[in-house]
Amino acid sequence: MDVDTRLLRYFSAVAEEGSLTGAARRLFVSQPALTKQIRRLEDTLGVRLFARSRSGMALTEAGREFASRVPALLDGWDEAVRATGRAARVLRLGFLDAGAVGPVPEVIAEFRRARPEWRVELRQFDWSDPSAGLARGEVDAAVVRLPFPGQESYAVRELIAEERGVLLPARHPLATRETVDFHELWDEPFVAAGAETGTWREHWLGAEERDAGHPVRVGAVTSRPDEWLGAVAGGCVALAPASAARFHSRPDVVFRPVHGLSPSRVGLARPRRRRDEAVLDELLRTVSRRLGGRPLGGWAGVGVRPRADGG
């Protein structure tokens, strides 16, 4: 019997969260998709792993037995993947957008010259996974925008702060302004990430800076830059980091700075449970120095304050 390790990760998340909603948020998948995968696992095993009720998902006796063994299976698999990567001398670094990555490609080129026996793979993920591959074990570390759901499970170093602005249709009345106050956007239809991205979605809707009497109007849900820009051109607005004006442009969309918004913070994240690996830490320290402008120490947690100038 063959079982996809992804199904084991899904099962483990539901078992730990005690609900499909919490697990879906943690895994950055939709609840219906997660439900389908749990049923697939149960069908494969031929047993019911959860007792479903309005209060959540409780493990059955068979489920408890399975849950007691899955962490060791996943840890063993993850270590096998890491050991294989070390043997092949491959480091996987995830990212979401070019604006957050900045000079990382130059850092990687520098690292390759110093360590020609190692290969660094820079892997881009769409906005349906704000952890840039970390949540599903697909990368060794990631350049991420904060906050993202499950962030507390990782060792995170804040590197820079970048102002947030707004993308507007070129024909929008506010497009002629040099700057926009956030409250002027409260009644506009916003482009949003999927609901499963939780706190990340809320951050890019400016939820914390909104007045309680002005709930978000979601005009479109997207996970890719081309869809995002298309939705703005079609009449929506979208909060965006200042770098979006350089890396994502089209003639019918304009970027304007916004007053009344906290900045976007960029950080480096890696799993906490992972044993120190000198080569990976060497690469991450180089990335940190280049992005954050100062050297980093260990990976116990957040240890570097973001630069206020966004440089």
Q: What is the CATH number of the domain that holds 243?
A: 3.40.190.10
Tell me the three state secondary structure of residue 304: coil
> Domain for residue 305, yes or no?
no
The reply to whether 15 and 35 lie within a common domain is yes
What is the DSSP track for 33-83? HHHHHHHHHHHHHTS--EEEETTEEEE-HHHHHHHHHHHHHHHHHHHHHHH
Phi, psi of 292 (to 5 degrees): -95, -15
pLDDT score, position 1: 65
What are the C-alpha distances in Å from 264 to residues 27, 32, 256, 274? Answer: 22, 31, 15, 27
Q: How many whole angstroms separate alpha carbon 18 and alpha carbon 67? A: 12
- Residue 89's pLDDT is 80
Distance of CA 207 to the CA centre of its chain: 18
Residue 34's domain is classified under what CATH number? 1.10.10.10
Residue 202 shares a structural domain with residue 127? no
Query: Looking at the structure, do residues 78 and 94 belong to the same domain, yes or no?
Result: no
Whether 309 maps to a domain, the answer reads no
Both tokens of 75, joined, read 């840890």
Q: Which of 46, 61, 83 is the last residue of a domain?
A: 83
| Cα separation, 80 vs 120, whole angstroms | 18
Domain membership of residue 302 (yes or no) is: no
Rounded to the nearest 5°, which phi and psi values hold at 276?
Answer: -60, 135
Which of these, 72, 130, 75, lies nearest to 273 by C-alpha position? 75
Determine the pLDDT at residue 309: 34
249 and 170 within one domain: yes
First to last CA, the chain: 53
- Residue 122 belongs to domain spanning: 89-161+264-292
Please list the alpha-helical segments (H only) found in 168-239.
Answer: 199-203, 225-233
Distance from C-alpha of 227 to C-alpha of 95, rounded to nearest angstrom: 18
Question: Quick check: 124 and 179 in contact, CB under 8 A?
Answer: no
Which of 83, 101, 120 is the last residue in one of the domains? 83
Residues 145 and 275 in one domain: yes
Residue 139: name the closest of 126, 125, 153 by CA.
Answer: 125
- Indicate the pTM of the whole model: 0.69
**Pair type for strands 164-169 and 253-259:** antiparallel
Q: Given 24, 53, 83, which residue is the final one in a domain? A: 83
Residues 282 and 144 in one domain: yes
Query: DSSP secondary-structure letter at 222?
Result: -
Q: Residue 108, by phi and psi: left (phi above 0), alpha (psi -120 to 50) or beta? A: alpha
Look at residue 134 and tell me if it is in a domain: yes
Task: Assess whether 123 and 197 both reside in one domain.
Answer: no
Judge whether 286 lies within some domain.
yes
One digit per residue, the tens of pLDDT, for the chain of length 311 reads: 667 888 999 999 999 999 898 888 888 788 888 999 999 999 999 999 999 888 789 999 999 999 999 988 888 887 787 777 667 688 899 998 887 787 788 888 888 888 888 888 889 998 889 999 998 888 989 999 999 888 888 989 888 899 999 999 999 999 999 999 999 999 999 999 988 888 899 999 999 999 887 889 999 999 888 899 999 999 999 999 998 878 877 899 999 999 999 999 998 898 876 555 778 888 888 888 777 644 333 343 332 333 333 33
Decide if 298 is inside a domain. Answer: no
Domain match, 15 and 74 both: yes
Domain shared by 138 and 273, yes or no = yes
What is the structure's pLDDT at 100? 78
**Which of 232, 112, 87 is CA-nearest to residue 167?**
232
| 156 shares a domain with 269 | yes
Q: How far is CA 6 from the centre of its chain?
A: 18
Q: How many structural domains are present in the chain?
A: 3
Q: Do both 169 and 253 map to the same domain?
A: yes
184 and 251 both lie in a single domain: yes
In a domain, 185, yes or no: yes
How would you list the strands of the sheet with 119-124, edge to edge? 119-124, 90-95, 141-146, 264-271, 154-162
Q: Is residue 94 part of a domain?
A: yes
Please tell me whether the peptide bond between 147 and the residue prior to it is cis, using omega within 30 degrees of 0: yes
